Amino acid sequence: MSRDQQRLADYLAHILEAIERIERYTEDMAEPAFLESQLVQDAVIRNFEIIGEASNNIEKHYPEFAVEHPELPLAFAYQMRNAVAHGYFKVDFEIVWKTI
């Protein structure tokens, strides 16, 4: 595997790991519990940031991969990352929950 291919694989692994963490943090949780837990909210937001950054890097550095995989919402993931990273106290956690 070339270094370039390895970097793409790393980005995809980061996305997968972040998704798995979000699932693990919220697996036994209903929406009301999520909306009350700042700890879980913060953990989920951090992983959305990771997903968004990796997605943006894939789109920028591997556009052919992004075109070949339109089922991956890479642009949406980056937009979500920007919303949660820069929203500070304006993040709508009901939308975050629906995204999970």
Active site residues: 81, 86
Long-range CB contacts (< 8 A, 24+ apart) of 85-88?
Answer: 85/45, 85/49, 85/52
Torsion of CA 79, 89, 41, 83, to 10 degrees: 0
